[in-house]
């Protein structure tokens, strides 16, 4: 049987529409469901080698590996068996296209280098792929849009559609409930009437927690007593969550340990939400929620009347912080003060409610390193250099702060 060996997941201009999350990772490293996009491909393809084509400032952490035979896959493409099979059938020099968008290609080293240097697709034999065969993650709004369906899809990829859970749990509904054997589950209630539930290895669900599927809980995540998680919640590994969370994604290694409501939102890695941090996901007029666009540098209609907030990596909120619907928060922000966070909070800012100022870079790095140490990781020189580059790259958004 033929297997693909060297996979290169590439970013396109869509990464700009996925900021602030792609400030710190390639598109394929976003968690959408139980797994990141790269992890989905790994589950579908088996033992293959992955590398990346991404933004220049991320190349030191996500380098490229070019072999004599390479498969390029759009990092925003959500994997399916159908798409995998079409990519496997490609001969060298052939590509799959969706209109003008490159979805995948098989290239020799020589043709690959020509594509990178010359940006020339003329030598490729392109085949149009059906729209029904590929789904692209094209905006930050899409992360929550597909979360419920992707939980089910990922459980299928991992072979977890047959229920497994400890005896004595209170479970209702017909969808699968799969709890890894190493997870610690106390007296919790799980409702699987609307979708499946997955609980990862070494996770800890405390007394009184309630889960209403579709829900995914990552490895080593703690769900606090009396927490309520529902309707498409995806919590990544090494998180600690409490209070009420609905239809939201935590990418990983973040805390929301106390009461408060988080709905229709996406939280990056290494964030810490203070007690009673709460967001709005609905305007009082019930009309369309505006969301900041990095592409247009302005608030744009979301097409949704239900929309929460989007918080980049390494952000913190003080107790009682209120966040308005549609708010976009950059990387390494510390939110505190009276009022409500709204609109757009630039990266590396301090304050952010009624007014804010630039966050000192050295202090930001020091705080990030401390929080990483609590999450079983260390901050190395490569990451510190990334921090310095991001500080410069995002300076334009802080020009007008007061």
- Asked whether the predicted pLDDT for residue 3 surpasses 70, the reply is no
* Domain 160-398 in the same topology as domain 6-138: no
SS3 6: strand
pLDDT tens for each residue of 301-342: 999 999 999 999 999 999 999 999 999 999 999 999 888 888
What residues contact 362, with CB distance under 8 A and at least 6 apart? none
Dig out the tokens for 235 from the structure: 């919590």
Query: Which CATH class, in words, describes the domain spanning 6-138?
Result: alpha beta
Span 144-158, average pLDDT: 96
| Residues constituting the chain | 402
- Asked whether the predicted pLDDT for residue 283 surpasses 90, the reply is no
Which of 61-70, 95-104, 201-210 has the highest mean predicted lDDT (pLDDT)? 201-210
- Rounded to the nearest 5 percent, the helix, strand and coil shares of the chain are 25, 30, 45
- Asked whether the predicted pLDDT for residue 291 surpasses 90, the reply is yes
Residue 379 Cα distances to 11, 30, 142, angstroms: 25, 20, 30
Cα of 126 vs its chain's centroid, Å = 30
Architecture in CATH for domain 160-398: 3 Solenoid (2.160)
- Contact (CB, 8 A) for 370 and 363: no
User: Dmax of the chain from CA atoms?
Assistant: 63
pLDDT tens for each residue of 217-267: 999 999 999 999 999 999 999 999 999 999 999 999 999 999 999 999 999
Q: Tokens 């340990």 belong to which residue?
A: 257
Q: How confident is the model at residue 123 (pLDDT cuts 50, 70, 90)?
A: confident
pLDDT of residue 402: 47
SS (HEC) of 315-375: CEECCCCEECCCCEECCCCEEECCCEECCEECCCEEEECCCEEECCHHHHHHHHHHHHHHC
Domain limits of the chain? 6-138, 160-398
Cα of 182 vs its chain's centroid, Å = 25
- Asked whether the predicted pLDDT for residue 117 surpasses 90, the reply is no
Mean pLDDT value across the chain: 93
């Amino acid at each position: 049987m033929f297997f693909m060996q060297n996979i290169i997941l590439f970013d396109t201009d869509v990464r700009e529409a996925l900021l602030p999350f792609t400030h710190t990772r390639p598109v394929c490293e976003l968690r959408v469901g139980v797994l990141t996009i790269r992890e989905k491909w790994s589950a579908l393809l088996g033992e293959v080698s992955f590398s990346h084509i991404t933004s220049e400032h991320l190349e030191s952490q996500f380098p490229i590996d070019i072999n004599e035979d390479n498969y390029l896959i759009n990092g925003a493409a959500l994997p399916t068996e159908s798409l995998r099979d079409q990519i496997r059938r490609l001969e060298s020099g052939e590509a799959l296209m969706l209109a003008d968008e490159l979805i995948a290609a098989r290239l020799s080293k020589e043709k690959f280098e020509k594509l990178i240097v010359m940006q020339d697709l003329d030598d490729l034999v392109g085949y149009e792929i059906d729209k029904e065969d590929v789904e692209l993650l094209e905006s930050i709004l899409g992360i929550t849009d597909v979360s419920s369906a992707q939980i089910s899809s990922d459980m299928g990829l991992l072979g977890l559609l047959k229920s497994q859970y400890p005896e004595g749990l209170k479970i209702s509904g017909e969808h699968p409930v799969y709890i890894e054997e190493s997870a610690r589950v106390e007296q919790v209630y799980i409702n699987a009437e609307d979708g499946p539930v997955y609980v990862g290895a070494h996770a800890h669900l405390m007394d009184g927690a309630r889960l209403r599927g579709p829900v995914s809980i990552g490895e080593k995540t703690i769900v606090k007593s009396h927490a309520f998680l529902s309707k498409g919640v995806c919590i990544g590994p090494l998180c600690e969550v409490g209070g009420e969370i609905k239809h939201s994604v935590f990418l990983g290694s973040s805390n929301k340990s106390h009461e408060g409501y988080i709905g229709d939102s996406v939280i990056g890695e290494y964030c810490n939400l203070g007690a009673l941090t709460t967001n709005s996901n609905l305007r009082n007029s019930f009309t369309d929620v505006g969301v900041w666009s990095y592409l247009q540098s302005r608030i744009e209609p979301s097409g949704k009347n239900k929309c929460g907030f989007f918080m980049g990596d390494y952000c913190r909120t003080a107790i009682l912080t209120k966040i308005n619907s549609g708010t976009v928060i950059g990387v390494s922000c510390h939110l505190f003060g009276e009022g409500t966070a709204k609109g757009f909070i630039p990266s590396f800012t301090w304050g952010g409610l009624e007014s804010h100022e630039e966050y000192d870079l050295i202090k930001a790095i020091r705080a990030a390193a401390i929080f990483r140490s609590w999450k079983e990781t260390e901050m190395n020189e490569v990451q510190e250099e990334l921090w310095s580059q991001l500080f410069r790259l995002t300076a334009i958004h802080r020009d007008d702060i007061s």
